[in-house]
Amino acid sequence: MSAETKTPFATFLINVADIADLGQIAIGHRRMVPITGGSVSGQIGKGIVLPGTDWQWIHADGTVSLTAHYTLQLDGGDLVEVESTGLRHTDEAGKVYFRTGIRMTAAANRKDINHRLFYSVGTRLPNEVQLDVYALD
């Protein structure tokens, strides 16, 4: 069995609004982060990020489990649905681990998107998230 390789595919710069903290609800600590826009570039093509939502669970140890759902609009007009699930954690030394698994869906002719899975390495910035997206080949 061969090992999977990762291929750089895109960079998403995702603009986010302030966190809406629902607090401790019946099954845990819940937050919602509005996705307000952004940009995309790379092998996928250039375009913009349309509004969406990032739902988060906050664990007792501070780990953030997240599920984001949004759409990309590429410069040629193609729309790409993005479903991203992952986690962010800061260890005792202050090192941040931020990774997501991504499934994207686009028009049938975009086999480079529809027939692959992706993962990202994330960086949380003030009012922005940068995702470096890799295709798993």
Type of residue at 52:
G
Contact 16, 122 (CB under 8 A): no
Which are the contacts of 82, defined by CB distance < 8 A and separation ≥ 6? 52, 68, 69, 70, 71, 72, 102, 103, 104
Q: Determine the residue type at 128.
A: E
**pLDDT, position 123:** 95
* Number of Cα atoms under 13 Å in the Cβ half of residue 34: 5
Please compute the mean of the pLDDT values over residues 78-83 and round it to a whole number: 98
pLDDT of residue 119: 97
Helix ranges (H only) for 1-73 are: none
Q: What is the pTM of this model?
A: 0.93
67-82: average pLDDT: 97
The token pair at 59 is 């664990």
CB-based contact 52:23 (threshold 8 Å)? no
Query: What does the pLDDT read at residue 62?
Result: 92
As to burial, measured by CB atoms within 10 angstroms (0-12 exposed, 13-18 middle, 19+ buried), residue 81 is middle
Task: List, in order of start, the domains of the chain with CATH numbers.
Answer: 6-136 (2.40.160.20)
pLDDT band with cut points at 50, 70 and 90 for residue 4: low
pLDDT of residue 5: 76
* Predicted pLDDT of residue 1: 43
